[in-house]
Amino acid sequence: MLERRSGEQFEFFLCGSLRDLVPDEHVLARVDRVLDLSWLHDMVAESYAASVGRPAIDPEAALRLMLAGFLLGIVHDRRLIREAQVNLAIRWFAGYGLQEKLPDHSSLTRIRKRWGADLFRRIFEKSVQACVAAGIAKGEVVHVDASLIRADVSWESLVARHVDDVADANNDDSGRDETAARNSKKTGKYKKVCTTDPDASMATNGRNRRLEPSYKQHGVVDDECGVIVEIDVTTGEANEGDHILSRLDTAAQTTGVAITLATADAGYAYGKVFGGLEERKISAVIPTKAEPIRSKVPLRRFRYDAHHDIVKCLRGKILRPNRTKVAYGRFFASKARDCKGCDLAAICLSPSRVTKAVVIVNDYPALLRARRKRDRWGKEEKRLYRRHRWRSEGFHGEAKSWHGLARAVRRGLENMRIQSFLTAMAINLKRLAAAFLLFWSLIWRSIYQEKRPGRSPGSDLRFLGQPISAAIC
């Protein structure tokens, strides 16, 4: 027979805990098993007055509310509080009862502003150290990558950079083409700037895509289980090569383990990067860039002698360093009498020059060694680079698809850093919860196997022939 349920509900009392109503496989229930914030009160105590003002919101409850939002992909405070009103899992995870009043959404904004990005960094580092203590992050082999994050601004807020009209009036017709080439949409006076979020800069991740106001997130991911051991945010136009070494140093300081190998894509293939990695005794698995051929006699045909600090051309003439320096290297120039009678002068020299000048970038010998090493990549290096693509790039895709990092939630570099720290912490807690669940499932499986005849105790504590940590992700 058919059953008909009444829409009226008369439950006035609820016996037991809200935890009884949250499924064990819910992401908040899984994360709660490994989340320990007993240290938080002492860390944030310096941000509050000891005996002045009204009692503040419990810091642990506030942080749990923020983490619940990022774990569930609810990154806006208003929507998070509205969802927490009816979501028992969020109420229980944050420590609020069924009849308790939730804080106003503006309270979370004030708490983030009071704590600051540096304190959120320390909170994120706590999650990294917990993963290291659990054995799911080794800190020896890491993958480095950067990703653009769209700023929370509209196209109407973009304006062209102001340039004094007198500069255009003083340019003659002969120099207009050269001036227009310098002042392109990517650099110069035609480059757009954002008035509502000055920290966001115009950037793109492809030549066939338009520039957008963006931030750039730099991440360092551990190879073992994909734990994010370091994260930071800069403006969108920042160069990745300027930040990789500092990120690796911070990651090693956080984990307490020296990095032995780092992988990255070709966007990091600079001489200064390879030189810095050699100084730190870190092996690099980075594909080198193809040298741009802008002349019939390219730079690779000139031999640099690091011992004598000279450059030799194809005909054996010597180019010596001059006083002209650039930020990324030095100029080496020949003498006019050496190039005057050279049979390659017609294709080697520019029409307006009588000497040859080449730029040797900083740490050029390290770049040459990296190019030779790239030609000798074996199976292990190719395997590590394939892991880089789905470890590091997979982290950015996961953060953008599931945790709301595809677009900035608030404006300003400080707020963007806080968003990245909380997102990375949420992902690390997911990794830690998965390890905890797998560990106990294997323990129960081993206990069951002990009762079966012919099986040794603990014989199945390896998952698919690998240690527990290798089977988490």
Tell me, what's the pLDDT at 170? 54
The CA distance from 225 to 203, in Å, is 31
Q: Model's pTM, two decimal places?
A: 0.84
| AA letter at 3 | E
Contact 415, 112 (CB under 8 A): yes
Q: What is the DSSP string of 163-223?
A: --HHHHHH--GGGHHHHHHHS-SSSSTT-EEESS-TT-EEE-SSTTS--EEEEEEEEEEET
Tell me, what's the pLDDT at 421? 97
Single out the residue of 82, 48, 42, 46 nearest to residue 65, CA to CA.
82
Tell me, what's the pLDDT at 464? 32
The full 3-state SS of 296-345, as one line of letters, equals CCCHHHCEEECCCCEEECCCCCEEEEEEEEECCEEEEECCHHHHHCCCCH
Tell me, what's the pLDDT at 430? 95
Q: What is the DSSP string of 390-409?
A: HHHHHHHHHHHHHSSTTB-S
Contact 196, 411 (CB under 8 A): yes
Tell me, what's the pLDDT at 472? 44
Strand 158-160 relative to strand 192-194, pairing? antiparallel
Single out the residue of 371, 424, 425, 412 nearest to residue 116, CA to CA.
412
pLDDT digits (tens, 9 = 90+) for 159-205: 765 544 445 555 554 444 444 444 454 444 556 788 888 899 988 88
Can you state the percent helix, strand and coil of the chain, rounding each to 5?
45, 15, 40
Tell me, what's the pLDDT at 96? 92
Tell me, what's the pLDDT at 458? 43
The CA distance from 56 to 346, in Å, is 77
The CA distance from 228 to 426, in Å, is 10
Tell me, what's the pLDDT at 182? 45
| AA letter at 334 | S
Q: Tokens standing for 278?
A: 């050699």
Give all strands of the β-sheet with 318-326 in edge-to-edge order.
Answer: 303-305, 310-312, 318-326, 329-333, 357-361
Strand 228-235 relative to strand 310-312, pairing? unpaired
pLDDT digits (tens, 9 = 90+) for 420-456: 999 999 999 999 999 887 776 666 666 655 555 544 4
* pLDDT < 50 positions in the chain: 163-166, 173-183, 185-188, 454-473
Tell me, what's the pLDDT at 401? 93
Hey, where are the domains in the chain? 18-103, 299-364
Single out the residue of 159, 154, 163, 164 nearest to residue 193, CA to CA.
159
**Is 467 strand, coil or helix?**
coil
User: Max alpha carbon distance in the chain (Å)?
Assistant: 107
